[in-house]
Amino acid sequence: MAVSDHVMIEAWKQVLTLSRLEAGQSVTVLTGAETHPQTLRTAMIACQAMGAVVNRLDLPPVNGEKALSRDPLAYLGTTPLTGNAPAMAALKASDLVLDLMTLLFSPEQLEILANGTKILLAVEPPEILARLVPTVADRERVLAAAARIEKATRMTVTSPAGTELSCPLGDFPVIGEYGYVDQPGRWDHWPSGFALTWPNERVTQGRIVIDRGDILLPHKNYVQDPIELTIQDGFAVSIDGGVDAALLRDYMDSFDDPEAYAISHIGWGLQPRARWSTLGLLDRERHIGMDARAYEGNFLFSLGPNNEAGGDRTTACHIDIPLRGCTVRLDDEVMVDAGKVLDGGLRA
């Protein structure tokens, strides 16, 4: 269902206020060929209404001829900023960048953030953005979970479907995504709501069973037949099952990169307003699946790069897989019990 410009402008104002945008600060709106016109239009109006100096930087697409999907996370190669010194200068000179294009997993993004510029990614369609406007309570809940991960030495995950995974922790940072950027040099994603980290390199062991009803991203499919991943020394060494397993193997094989099979980030969803069921209600080419990533109680794991966390794995293949009904433990403490978050009532 369509969302009015008024609703979107008010949503932007709330997010920008939480992001501590002040009158006189500079905002660059980064756009590309797939930027939603209403998201762009209302972002510009909201920034101007709050007294910001607003610029738009529109860049041509890259990698479309290499990707198997139109999803912007389906191929993480170079970005329109690669080798683009004038564009980089403009973004680094900004107080805030509204990324309506998608810069994830790029050295250019890290360079901009290191300069103190804040970056907020917002590429879901307006109806999803308006439904999942972040709140202060979202931040408090996510940061509480992130603080608990920071103290842990191991994350273990089990499920009735047969998942048994052991992930030693401590070598990589913990990230909490709550939907706005309230500190210099911060990146976040509207919408979101989860805490995550990366396991220590080449030590994760076990088995992951992707059960019926779990979701593959960027495929945006509910799995129909279980897929079993055998994890040895931090890599998925086998992908077994029926047709869904064959589809996943074929997609990942297309990248011809062994690093695509590495366990990447791990964590759980904390957004009660995101829904597991929405994937079947949406046009898969119009969204990137943030409901699936953020819905409360999922165990979200990824295969692929770790350069976002300071690692050196930069594979172009990135698979996000949220699982239902898992029990997640940090050391000996249960954080998610059969898909229910146990965080003492810290709810958005």
State whether residue 143 is helix, strand or coil.
Answer: helix
What pLDDT sits at residue 81?
A: 95
Angle 303-306-311 from CA coordinates, rounded to 5°: 150
> What pLDDT digit, counting tens, does each position of 46-71 carry?
999 999 999 999 999 998 898 888 88
* 83 Cβ contact partners less than 8 Å away, ≥ 6 residues apart: none
For β-strands 154-158 and 118-121, DSSP reports them as: unpaired
Considering the domain architecture, whether residues 91 and 199 belong to the same structural domain is answered as no
Query: Which of these, 178, 240, 213, 204, lies nearest to 339 by C-alpha position?
Result: 213
Query: Which of these, 346, 330, 332, 301, lies nearest to 148 by C-alpha position?
Result: 330
Considering the domain architecture, whether residues 81 and 196 belong to the same structural domain is answered as no
> What pLDDT digit, counting tens, does each position of 247-281 carry?
999 999 999 999 999 999 999 999 999 999 999 89
Considering the domain architecture, whether residues 213 and 279 belong to the same structural domain is answered as yes
Q: Residue range 135-142: average pLDDT?
A: 98
Considering the domain architecture, whether residues 210 and 122 belong to the same structural domain is answered as no
pLDDT at 285 over 90: no
For the chain, what percent of residues have pLDDT higher than 70? Answer: 99
Say how many C-beta atoms besides its own lie within 10 A of residue 289's C-beta. 23
With respect to residue 114, please indicate whether it lies within any of the assigned structural domains: yes
pLDDT at 331 over 80: yes
Q: Which helix (H) or strand (E) holds 56?
A: strand 53-58
Q: Residue range 83-98: average pLDDT?
A: 98
Residues 120 and 133: their CA atoms lie apart, in Å, by: 13
Considering the domain architecture, whether residues 154 and 226 belong to the same structural domain is answered as yes
> What pLDDT digit, counting tens, does each position of 113-133 carry?
999 999 999 999 999 999 999
> Mean pLDDT score of the chain, rounded to an integer?
95
pLDDT at 346 over 80: no
What pLDDT sits at residue 344?
A: 67
Residues 117 and 95: their CA atoms lie apart, in Å, by: 5
Last residue of a domain, one of 131, 154, 187: 131
Q: Which pLDDT band holds residue 348 (cuts at 50, 70, 90)?
A: very low
With respect to residue 347, please indicate whether it lies within any of the assigned structural domains: no
For β-strands 327-330 and 333-337, DSSP reports them as: antiparallel
Considering the domain architecture, whether residues 113 and 157 belong to the same structural domain is answered as no
Q: Which pLDDT band holds residue 345 (cuts at 50, 70, 90)?
A: low
Question: Which residue has tokens 């239009």?
Answer: 41
For the chain, what percent of residues have pLDDT higher than 90? Answer: 88
Q: Which pLDDT band holds residue 300 (cuts at 50, 70, 90)?
A: very high
Say how many C-beta atoms besides its own lie within 10 A of residue 337's C-beta. 14
Last residue of a domain, one of 104, 131, 158: 131
With respect to residue 189, please indicate whether it lies within any of the assigned structural domains: yes
Considering the domain architecture, whether residues 198 and 242 belong to the same structural domain is answered as yes
Question: Which residue has tokens 């697409």?
Answer: 61
Residues 249 and 261: their CA atoms lie apart, in Å, by: 10
pLDDT at 347 over 70: no
What pLDDT sits at residue 69?
A: 87
With respect to residue 88, please indicate whether it lies within any of the assigned structural domains: yes
Question: Are 81 and 106 in contact, with CB atoms under 8 Å apart?
Answer: yes
What pLDDT sits at residue 76?
A: 83
First to last CA, the chain: 24
Considering the domain architecture, whether residues 143 and 291 belong to the same structural domain is answered as yes
pTM of the model as a whole? 0.96
pLDDT at 141 over 80: yes
Residues 280 and 329: their CA atoms lie apart, in Å, by: 30
Residues 103 and 57: their CA atoms lie apart, in Å, by: 13
State whether residue 1 is helix, strand or coil.
Answer: coil
What pLDDT sits at residue 106?
A: 87
Give residue 232's domain range: 136-341
CATH number at residue 37: 3.40.1830.10
**Alpha helices (H) in the chain, listed in sequence order:** 5-18, 37-49, 85-92, 107-114, 126-131, 136-151, 243-253, 290-294
Considering the domain architecture, whether residues 163 and 294 belong to the same structural domain is answered as yes
Angle 18-34-121 from CA coordinates, rounded to 5°: 20
Considering the domain architecture, whether residues 142 and 261 belong to the same structural domain is answered as yes
Structure tokens at 320: 């996000």
With respect to residue 39, please indicate whether it lies within any of the assigned structural domains: yes
> What pLDDT digit, counting tens, does each position of 172-228 carry?
999 999 999 999 999 999 999 999 999 999 999 999 999 999 999 999 999 999 999
Considering the domain architecture, whether residues 247 and 304 belong to the same structural domain is answered as yes
Residues 155 and 172: their CA atoms lie apart, in Å, by: 13
pLDDT at 107 over 70: yes
Considering the domain architecture, whether residues 110 and 177 belong to the same structural domain is answered as no
Last residue of a domain, one of 112, 131, 150: 131
